[in-house]
Amino acid sequence: MVQASSTLGRHAVVVGGSMAGLLTTRILSGYFEQVTILERDRFPTEAPAPRKGLPQCTQLHILLTRGRQIMEDLFPGLESDLIDAGAAVLDMGADVEWMNPFGWTARFPSGFKALSFSRYILDWLIHRRLSEFSNIQILEASYVTGLLTNSDKTAVTGAIVRRREGEHSEQVQQEELSADLVIDASGYSSQAPKWLKAIGYDAPEETVITTSMGYASRLYEIPADFQEDWKGVYIQADPPKRTSMGVLYPIENNRWIVGVCGTAPNRPSTNEAEFLEALRNLPSPHIYNAVKDAKPATAIGIYHPPGNRLRHYERLSRQPQGFIALGDSVCSFTPIYGQGMTVAALGAVLLQQCLQETALTELPSRFQKELARVNVTPWIAATSQDAKYPSVKGLTQPPSLPEKAIGWYMDRLIQLTTKEPQVTLVLFNVFHMVQSSGALLQPSILFRVIQQLLTRSLSRKSSKIQVSTSSITSR
Ligand SMILES: Cc1cc2nc3c(=O)[nH]c(=O)nc-3n(C[C@H](O)[C@H](O)[C@H](O)COP(=O)(O)OP(=O)(O)OC[C@H]3O[C@@H](n4cnc5c(N)ncnc54)[C@H](O)[C@@H]3O)c2cc1C
């Protein structure tokens, strides 16, 4: 059993037992005598498996390297647990065929490793680790419906929860759980704004940017005779021209997870023929050829994620003590950029910093302000890409000149990946949040962009000269 190290308070309650809730609980266990997760679902007991409250968990999930590093710090040995459980280890430069809008990224041994596994195996392993802590309790079938407050409503003092006792019991009991701190980690469907309004506070303003993206995923058994020089394939969308994309990654149990995305009216469906057709229509047949004769291991699962939503808790003029929100509840993204779990992990790390440096009474306003800063870069990364989709909704103004310049520069870098491994490596580090975006402006990268521009303009000039000499000769 792992014991608590120091205590800031007696009891913290975490609403939601998915990635944001699990990681936050690990942090809180070092600062509170007791931490309770309240989760509306029941968790799988025998083996890793999907669950109802996490409908996205059957869809492809990429864990960015920064997120993996944080999780490894919080749960030492988690990476080896994942590998022991069958996660595939991929060298992102050598093992993955990446088709970007300018062609194929040049393959090279990059030393940049990623682990590939199903989302539910990660939750399962972390959940198992948390159960080793003597001061953590996980209450399943516990649906939070509101917040408790003190008499003058200046502080949240707990949560109101409807609990179902036995696994098959229909009997629901309403309970009140008092706590020094309540953390909302209940994801996109979080009702926290309503809970705040019910105790006399404003709901946070929201920014919502959507693209009507649809996801379809399916697991396949990797055929015994499969022989290619790649382990995974990523065919990137090229909006506004082409909004579909496809991914194939190996995961545990010798399976591929194959996903295809598209925006309305071309969202993928659960229909077998349509799923294969969507794969066949991608600009490269890699994925289609790999799976067309492979044995499916599951049905096709679809999911229509709601899109990017930012709740501006940091702008609230009044915030109650004893309550904070993080994870998808505050900031959720179009999933194709693979940022959600890592941003949840960054939120947990920030919470730790704040708990170390801030009195509990000051925590909510400091935490929400700093979380807003953490969310800025991934939010811009997701929404600036989504802005290229014809179906985008919620943009209040066209991209500004600096935003256009950043977009143009990013395109040049992506274009360079077709022949410059060094650029690809820096992009991996930035996309995986290991380095800040400032790394994209380092002299060696700038030099390559300028060199590419000069080469292109020289070759354009020389082809014009050739055209005019040939027209003189032919006269
Ligand atoms: C299709 C899809 C693909 C994705 N792919 C990726 C990817 O590749 N990489 C990546 O990093 N992220 C990805 N994400 C995002 C990722 O799943 C989330 O960011 C991540 O799970 C963290 O979210 P969360 O814990 O804040 O909320 P969620 O994962 O939504 O979990 C919320 C939890 O709260 C519980 N809950 C809700 N309401 C209550 C209540 N009132 N009382 C008690 N419990 C409650 C729910 O049952 C659930 O367990 C994807 C998302 C989708 C939709």
* 36 and 127 within one domain: yes
Q: Give per-residue pLDDT as tens, 392-435.
A: 999 988 888 988 999 999 999 999 999 999 999 999 999 999 99
- Out of 279, 303, 327, a domain closes at 303
* 336 and 373 within one domain: yes
Percent of the chain with pLDDT over 90: 89
- 80 within a domain of the structure (yes/no): no
* 199 and 319 within one domain: yes
For residue 16, the CA-to-ligand 1 centroid distance in Å is 9
Instruction: Please tell me the total count of domains within the chain.
Output: 3
Mean pLDDT of 280-293: 97
Task: Give the residue whose CA is nearest to atom 20 of ligand 1.
Answer: 341
Mean pLDDT of 202-226: 97
Candidate from 24, 41, 70, 186 with most ligand 1 atoms within 8 A of CB, to mutate: 186
Mean pLDDT of 201-220: 97
- 269 within a domain of the structure (yes/no): yes
Q: Do 261 and 245 contact (CB within 8 A), yes or no?
A: yes
For residue 303, the CA-to-ligand 1 centroid distance in Å is 13
At residue 444, φ and ψ (nearest 5 deg) are: -65, -30
- 109 within a domain of the structure (yes/no): no
Task: Give the residue whose CA is nearest to atom 50 of ligand 1.
Answer: 335
Q: From edge to edge, which strands make up the β-sheet containing 172-178?
A: 142-149, 156-164, 172-178
* 370 and 317 within one domain: yes
Q: Is the pLDDT of residue 443 over 50?
A: yes
- Among 2-6, 172-176, 196-200, 300-304, the range scoring the smallest mean pLDDT is 2-6
According to the model, what pLDDT value does residue 460 have? 77
* 251 and 188 within one domain: no
According to the model, what pLDDT value does residue 469 have? 59
Atom number of ligand 1 nearest to Cα 341: 11
- 276 within a domain of the structure (yes/no): yes
* 190 and 248 within one domain: no
Q: Give per-residue pLDDT as tens, 108-163.
A: 999 999 999 999 999 999 999 999 999 999 999 999 999 999 999 999 999 999 99
Atom number of ligand 1 nearest to Cα 22: 25
- 188 within a domain of the structure (yes/no): yes
Mean per-residue pLDDT of the chain: 94
* 423 and 323 within one domain: no
For residue 332, the CA-to-ligand 1 centroid distance in Å is 9
- 113 within a domain of the structure (yes/no): no
Residue for token pair 């649906």: 143
- Out of 252, 282, 303, a domain closes at 303
Give the number of C-alpha atoms closer than 13 A to the C-alpha of residue 182, restricted to the C-beta side: 28
Q: Give per-residue pLDDT as tens, 404-413.
A: 999 999 999 9
Q: What is the DSSP string of 44-112?
A: -SSS----TT-GGGGS-----HHHHHHHHHHSTTHHHHHHHTTPEEEETTTTEEEEETTEEPPP-----
> Which CATH number goes with the domain that contains 172?
3.50.50.60
* 374 and 226 within one domain: no
- 108 within a domain of the structure (yes/no): no
* 419 and 364 within one domain: no
Q: Which of 347, 306, 330, 252 has its CA nearest to residue 22?
A: 347
- 163 within a domain of the structure (yes/no): yes
- Out of 354, 382, 410, a domain closes at 382
Task: Give the residue whose CA is nearest to atom 18 of ligand 1.
Answer: 340
* 448 and 434 within one domain: yes
Pocket lining for ligand 1, CB < 6 angstroms:
15-21, 38-41, 53-54, 56, 59-63, 143-144, 185-189, 191, 215, 303, 305, 327-329, 335, 338-342, 344
For residue 260, the CA-to-ligand 1 centroid distance in Å is 20
> Which CATH number goes with the domain that contains 270?
3.30.70.2450
* Structural domain range at position 17: 9-61+120-208+306-382
* 192 and 317 within one domain: yes
pLDDT band at residue 475 under the 50/70/90 scheme: very low
Please name the helix (run of DSSP H) or strand (run of DSSP E) that holds residue 145, with its range, or none: strand 142-149
Q: Give per-residue pLDDT as tens, 96-112.
A: 999 999 999 999 999 99
* 189 and 158 within one domain: yes
pLDDT band at residue 458 under the 50/70/90 scheme: confident
